[in-house]
Amino acid sequence: MLNIEDKTILALVDAAKDGFEKAYAPYSNFHVGAAALTASGKIVKGCNVENASYGLTVCAERNCLAQGVIGGEQAFSALVVYTNQEKLTPPCGACRQVIVEFLAPDATVIAVNHNNDKQQWTVNELLPDAFTPKDLLEK
């Protein structure tokens, strides 16, 4: 697991909380915010955006990473997911696959809630034996 400074984790949590506040979740009322640290040291954030056609809902983690890509970043070293749920909320399966696309196997993913409870994983712990871009390039 990569060693991320405490002040950087706090900044990521604050950015994820800000994303949480901006979430559009009128159907589930399940607000999620996310923040990622780019390889160049920037913090990008995202929130979940629901849709009346539920399948078109986009999770905070994917919106967050997309914001980074839009800003010219394609490598990230950490990701924080924030909710106000008592039970910590890890990324869903679709988000785990997108996380694998942009974060190294030993990169840090942290779930945080409103009680400041935390759970931390590596990307590889969230999605072992993942299908990655490398699988497409190796023949």
Of the candidates 83, 82, 88, the one whose C-alpha atom is nearest the C-alpha of residue 36 is 82
Contact 106, 122 (CB under 8 A): yes
β-strand pairing of 76-83 with 103-113? parallel
Closest of 47, 114, 48, 122 to residue 78, by C-alpha:
122
Q: Identify the active-site residue in 5, 21, 50, 61.
A: 61
Alpha-carbon distance 79 to 7, whole Å? Answer: 14
Count the neighbouring beta carbons within 10 Å of the beta carbon of residue 34. Answer: 31
State yes or no: is 125 an active-site residue: no
Q: Catalytic residues, which ones?
A: 61
